[in-house]
């Protein structure tokens, strides 16, 4: 049975993924499609509703993305957000013009609760804060429409034609700053689109397992397991589907955190699947001898990883399917290949397909990260795997500045463990999205007892972020930082100084290399 579907039509807004995630949080399956998708194709998908995203353009600029009137003739409910709202007005004969006062940020908004969208939101006051970001505004709504919200500078902050099921909001209901915004989206999908909300990870797991079984038949599949959330959940799902016809190869490059290799092995070895752990640490270390340039490190590790993986897959023999842990944000973002390369990411889930396989299976390609986590829990994976913070493919190799040696790896592992322990002790492990230690290549003078020391400086990094594209440094309390610093200097030889990184991204990146 097919799930109810809502389509988010992307007009170039930065919140396209967020809107889709919010709709899914309402229990309704949602896909992001380009605004160029022909109306016929949209119709064939038989969505219960269509949401137009925001976008950076002006509707009256000829080059900006537009859409034909036919989309409004399908009888499918439409919600336009920000640029999407202006597009609704413009396309249906309203008037859009440049604001005399642009609205940006939290804005007091007055709602008319006779609107089905606002009227069904529990506890929505007549006036509440919405998040605005626009330099054009709808000066006149199209014929047949009525205004259902306004602000001081925006006379049509929301408008609708309930008979035609067309709704528009100038503000962004999907961002947390809009009070009751998510409930408004919920109200649109439930009360206007009439969705029941049939999307949940339990049913998804069941359907995905059936589909995988149908595809793989009696064949065998191979998966590169890193112990990260995506590959772990892909493994659990595949294993539930095909049992011991799945082989997982965990290439231990020797740059894992303290005890991590054993933890990954313990988590998977008794799961009734073929688990192969390859200890390749010697091999990786010797390849990196004398290498201190970050990009060379990344490329060397990425390449060596593929070589080891290929060798192992040959040993295993005839395998038809390669499993990849691709998730939905990767799918949405693929195709926009014109961004500058800041770092060449090595993702063990993202092997190139020149490894000789009949087909690639991507069992998570429809899921957002939070859904992947829910699915992992549904499949019985332990919390420490499901809630694991991201860990880069090249591991500690890019957290040791300069050349990598065994000694430096040991120092960093011990220091990093102390940092993680103290963050957990302070109950901050779920609030800080990523935190780790970096061994700088700098040494300085200190004093221990009555002796002079000349040892390394350790840097601590902690960030809060929702998407890892931008980040703020985490406001870790001083007493927690102090505990870490005292413990590190006392317990880990060759570190005599500890710093905390207080830069955001941008201008820094999260990792140091």
| Residue of 4, 103, 160, 174 with catalytic role | 174
For the bound state, the minimum distance from the C-beta of residue 174 to ligand XMP, rounded and expressed in Å, comes to 23
Nearest CB to ligand XMP, comparing residues 295 and 482: 295
For the bound state, the minimum distance from the C-beta of residue 367 to ligand XMP, rounded and expressed in Å, comes to 17
For the bound state, the minimum distance from the C-beta of residue 511 to ligand XMP, rounded and expressed in Å, comes to 3
Q: Which residues pair with 289 in a beta bridge?
A: none
Per-residue DSSP letter, 471: B
Largest CA distance in the chain: 85
| Residue of 30, 82, 154, 235 with catalytic role | 82
For the bound state, the minimum distance from the C-beta of residue 433 to ligand XMP, rounded and expressed in Å, comes to 8
Nearest CB to ligand XMP, comparing residues 468 and 500: 468
Nearest CB to ligand XMP, comparing residues 154 and 398: 398
Residue 225 has a CB neighbour count (10 Å cut-off) of: 26
Identify whether the C-beta of residue 350 lies closer than 8 Å to the C-beta of residue 326: yes
Nearest CB to ligand XMP, comparing residues 114 and 470: 470
For the bound state, the minimum distance from the C-beta of residue 116 to ligand XMP, rounded and expressed in Å, comes to 41
Cα distances (angstroms) measured from residue 333 to each of 30, 54, 154, 230, 330? 16, 17, 33, 17, 5
Q: Which residues pair with 127 in a beta bridge?
A: 110
Residue 382 has a CB neighbour count (10 Å cut-off) of: 13
Q: Where are the beta strands (DSSP E) in 226-341?
A: 246-252, 274-279, 321-323
Nearest CB to ligand XMP, comparing residues 47 and 325: 325
For the bound state, the minimum distance from the C-beta of residue 509 to ligand XMP, rounded and expressed in Å, comes to 3
Nearest CB to ligand XMP, comparing residues 69 and 345: 345
Nearest CB to ligand XMP, comparing residues 154 and 439: 439
CA nearest 439: which of 495, 503, 493, 508?
495
For the bound state, the minimum distance from the C-beta of residue 325 to ligand XMP, rounded and expressed in Å, comes to 10
321-323 and 434-448 beta bridge pairing = unpaired
Q: Which residues bind ligand XMP (CB under 6 A)?
A: 343, 345-347, 390, 392-394, 434, 468, 505, 509-511
Separation between Cα atoms, residue 392 and residue 229, nearest integer Å: 12
Token reading at 34 = 């380009």
Backbone angles phi, psi at 285, to 5 degrees: -60, -40
Cβ-in-10-Å burial (0-12, 13-18, 19+) of 218 comes to exposed
Nearest CB to ligand XMP, comparing residues 95 and 343: 343
Separation between Cα atoms, residue 137 and residue 103, nearest integer Å: 9
Instruction: Indicate if 172 belongs to the active site.
Output: yes
158-161 and 359-361 beta bridge pairing = unpaired
Q: Three-state SS for 55?
A: coil
Q: Three-state SS for 340?
A: coil
Nearest CB to ligand XMP, comparing residues 27 and 504: 504
For the packed helices 229-242 and 260-269, what is the interaxial angle rounded to 10 degrees?
20
For the bound state, the minimum distance from the C-beta of residue 13 to ligand XMP, rounded and expressed in Å, comes to 22
Identify whether the C-beta of residue 213 lies closer than 8 Å to the C-beta of residue 241: yes
Separation between Cα atoms, residue 252 and residue 157, nearest integer Å: 55
Cα within 13 Å of Cα(251), Cβ side? 28
| Residue of 134, 172, 253, 346 with catalytic role | 172
Q: Look up tokens 């609205």; give the residue.
A: 103
Separation between Cα atoms, residue 473 and residue 502, nearest integer Å: 6
Instruction: Indicate if 82 belongs to the active site.
Output: yes
**Residues with catalytic annotation?**
82, 172, 174
């Amino acid at each position: 049975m097919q799930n109810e579907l809502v389509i988010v039509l992307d007009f170039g807004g930065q919140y396209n993924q967020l809107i889709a995630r919010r709709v899914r949080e309402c229990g309704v399956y949602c896909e992001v499609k380009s605004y160029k998708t022909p109306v016929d194709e949209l119709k064939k998908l038989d969505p219960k509703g269509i949401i137009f995203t925001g976008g950076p353009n002006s509707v009256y600029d000829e080059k900006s993305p537009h859409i034909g009137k036919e989309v409004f003739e399908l009888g499918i409910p439409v919600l336009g957000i920000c640029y999407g709202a202006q597009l609704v007005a413009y396309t249906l004969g309203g008037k859009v013009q440049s604001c005399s006062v642009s609205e940006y940020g939290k804005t007091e908004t007055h709602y008319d609760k006779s609107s089905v969208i606002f009227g069904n939101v529990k506890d929505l006051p007549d006036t509440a804060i919405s998040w605005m970001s626009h330099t054009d505004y709808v000066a006149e709504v199209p014929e047949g429409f009525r205004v259902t919200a306004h602000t001081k500078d925006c006379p049509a902050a929301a408008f609708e034609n309930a008979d035609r099921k067309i709704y528009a909001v100038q503000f962004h209901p999907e961002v947390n700053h809009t009070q009751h915004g998510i409930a408004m989206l919920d109200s649109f999908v439930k009360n206007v689109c009439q969705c029941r909300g049939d999307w949940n990870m339990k049913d998804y797991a069941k359907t995905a397992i059936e589909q995988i079984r149908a595809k793989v038949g009696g064949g065998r599949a191979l998966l590169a397991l890193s112990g990260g959330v995506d590959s772990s959940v892909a493994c659990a799902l595949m294993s539930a589907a095909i049992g011991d016809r799945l082989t997982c190869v965990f290439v231990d490059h020797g740059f894992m955190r303290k005890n991590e290799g054993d933890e990954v092995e313990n988590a998977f070895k008794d799961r009734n699947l073929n688990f192969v752990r390859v200890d390749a640490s010697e091999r990786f270390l010797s390849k990196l001898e004398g290498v201190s340039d970050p990009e060379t490190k990344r490329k060397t590790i990425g390449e060596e990883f593929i070589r080891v993986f290929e060798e192992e897959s040959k040993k295993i023999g005839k395998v038809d399917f390669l499993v990849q842990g691709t998730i939905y944000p990767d799918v949405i973002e693929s195709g926009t290949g014109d961004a500058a390369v800041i770092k060449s990411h090595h993702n063990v889930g993202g092997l190139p397909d020149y490894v000789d396989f009949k087909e690639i299976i991507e069992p998570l390609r429809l899921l957002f990260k939070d859904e992947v986590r829910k699915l992992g829990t549904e499949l019985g994976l332990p919390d420490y795997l499901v809630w694991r913070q991201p860990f880069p493919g090249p591991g500690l190799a890019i957290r040791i500045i300069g050349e990598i040696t065994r000694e430096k790896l040991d120092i960093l592992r011990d220091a990093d463990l102390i940092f993680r322990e103290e963050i957990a002790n302070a109950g901050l492990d779920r609030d800080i999205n990523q935190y780790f230690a970096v061994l700088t290549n700098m040494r300085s003078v200190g004093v221990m007892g009555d002796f002079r020391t000349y040892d390394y400086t350790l840097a601590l990094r902690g960030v809060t972020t929702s998407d890892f594209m931008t980040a703020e440094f985490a406001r870790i309390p001083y007493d927690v930082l102090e505990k870490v610093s005292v413990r590190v200097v006392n317990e880990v030889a060759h570190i005599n100084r500890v710093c905390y990184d207080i830069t955001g991204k941008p201008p820094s990146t999260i990792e140091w290399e």
